[in-house]
Structure 1
Amino acid sequence: MIRIPMRTLTLVTSSLPLLGFIICVLISFFKDFEGVNYTHCRVYNFLPSISASIGGFTPQRYIWRVAVAFHTTPRFLFAFMYYNWHRQDTQNWNKNSKYKTLCQANLGVNLAELCCLLGLTYVSSEEDYKIHEKCFIFFVVFAFIYMVTTCCLCHMRKTPMIQRSRRLKHYAFIAFVLSICGFSYFFVRHNLYCEPYVYSMFAFCEYISVVSNIGFHATVAVDFRDTNIVISSLDNEPVNTQNGYLLR
C-alpha cells in the first residue's frame, strides 16, 4: 500500500509542464534562435512562441511531450476529485439544480481542456498547423470556461472553503484573461502590420497564460491539503481512507 500526499503529487504534476515549458524555451532560445523566431514577414523577434518552442525542433518536441504525458494522468484524477468535492456540498447538490448542472459542466470542460492540451502537444504546428491551431484555440476556450465555472462554484458553495484558495484562483484567472487579451491583440497586430518585436510580445503573453493556467490548477494542493492518494493492490487489505482517495 502506498500513500501519496496531495501536496507532493500536485507539486510534481504542476512542475512537469512548467519545467518542460521553461526548458523548451531556453533550448530554443540558445540552440535554434533564428528558427524559432522566424515569421512569415521576416521581422526581428527575440522571444519564441510556445508552438515553435515545443513542436518545431528536437529535443524540445520530445521533452514537452514526455512532460505532458506524465502530467496528464494525475490531472484526470484531480478533475474527478473536484467533481466529488463539489458534490459533497449536499445543501447545494440536493436543492440547487443550477449548482448541480454547473458541477457537471465544470467536469466536462476540465476534461475537454485536457484533451485539447494533448491534441496541441502531440500534433505540432509543423506537422498539421490547422489541427494544432484548433486544439490551441479550444484549449484556451475550455480553460477559460473551466476557470469561470470553478470561480462560480466557489462562490455558490455552502460548505466553507479556504479563502486562500479562492483568492489564488481569482488572481490566476485575472492573469489568464489579461494574457488572452494580450496575445490576441499582438497576434492580430503582427499579421496586419508585421512590426518588429510584436510577435515576441505575443509570445510573452502566451507565457503568462501558461503560468497562470498551471497556477490555477495547482490550487488543488490547497483545496485537498490534508488528502492522501492511497494505492492498494489487495482487495482484502484494510485501508483507512479518511482524508484520502483509494485507488486499487
Structure 2
Amino acid sequence: MNITLPPVSYSIGIWSPQKYIWMMIMFIHLPPRLAFLTLYRRLFLISAPKSEWYARINYVYMLTLWAEPFGLILVSVVDINGGFILHALGFAIWIICFNFNMLFNILLHHFGGCRDVHDRMETTWRIKCVIFLVGYFCAISTPITYPYFTAHCSSYAYNLFSLAELIEVGCNSVFYAIAYFEFPKTRITIGIKSVQRNLNELDKSKTQMAPALPHKDAV
C-alpha cells in the first residue's frame, strides 16, 4: 500500500511534537470562535424578518455553532489509539456541524436581507456559497472513501480521504475568516481594568467599616 498524501490525523494523532503544536493552536483558536458566534447571532437577530422558520433556523444555527468546537476538541484530545469510536464520533460531529453551519449562515445571510446592505456582503455571500459546495462534496466523500480503504486497503481511497480532510480544513479556515470582511469595523477587546484608589481613602473606609470591639466590663 502506497500512501502519498498524509491525513490531518498525522497532526492530531499520537505523534509528537505536532500533536502538542496542534493542541496549542486549537485552544488559542477557540476563544475567537466564541466571538464569531456572538457576532453572527447579533447580526441575524437584528436583520431577522418576522418569520417563524427564520427564528428556528437561527436557533438551530446557534446550537451547531456550539457543537462544532466540541467535535473539534473531541477529535483532537481523543486520538486513534485512545479510542477510535470517540475519535470518529468527534470527527463526524465536527464535519457535519461545520457543513450545517455553512448552510445556515448562507440561508440567514440571504433571507435576512444582508446581501442588500452593501456590495461587500453580496461578494462574501457568493464566496461562502462556493466554499459550501466544495466542503459539502468533500464531506459526503469521507464516509465512502474511509470504509472502502478499511475494507480493501486501497491507497487510492485513503489518498482521496486525506485530500477531502485537507480541503475541508481549508474550507473551515477560509469560511470563518470571511467574518473579518463582513465586520470590518468591529473590534472586540478583552482585558482587565485596574482601578486605582487613594490609599488614605482606603484606610478611612476600612476604619469606618470595621465593627467596634465589644466592651468588657471589669470584674
How many Å separate the matches in 2 of 1:231 and 1:193? Answer: 52
Instruction: Give the % identical residues.
Output: 23
Q: 1:86 corresponds to which residue?
A: 44
1:105 paired to 2:60: yes
Aligned partner (choices 69, 81, 95) of residue 114 of structure 1: 69
1:66 maps to 2:24: yes
CA RMSD, 1 decimal? 1.9
Rg larger for: 2
More strand by share: 1
The DSSP-based 3-state class of the residue aligned with 1:197 is helix
1:135 aligns with 2:93: no
Q: Is the 8 A contact 2:11 2:22 kept in 1?
A: no
The number of equivalent residue pairs is 191
In structure 2, what is the equivalent of residue 36 of structure 1?
A: none
Alpha carbons of structure 1 residues 165 and 126: separation in structure 2 relative to 1, 3 Å: same
TM-score, length-normalised on structure 1?
0.72
Q: Is the 8 A contact 2:47 2:113 kept in 1?
A: yes
TM, length-normalised to structure 2: 0.80
Greater relative CO, 1 or 2 (CA 8 Å, sep 6+) = 1
Structure 1 residue 234, shift from structure 2 partner: 4.2
Paired position in structure 2 for 1:204: 163
Distance change in 2, residues 1:204/1:232 (3 Å): closer
Match of 1:171 in 2: 130
Query: Could you report, residue by residue, the CA deviation over 1:35-71 in whole angstroms, capped at 9, with x for unpaired residues?
Result: xxxxxxxx22112222233212000110100010000
1:183-225 Cα shifts (integer Å, max 9, x gaps):
3332132123222333122111110111011111111112111
Which consecutive residues of structure 1, in runs of 5 or more, have no partner in the other structure? 1-42, 237-248
Q: Do 1:117 and 1:139's aligned partners in 2 also have CA atoms closer than 8 Å? A: yes
Contact 1:44 1:196 survives alignment (8 Å) = yes
Give 3-state SS (helix, strand or coil) of 1:228's partner: coil
Post-superposition offset of 1:85? 1.0
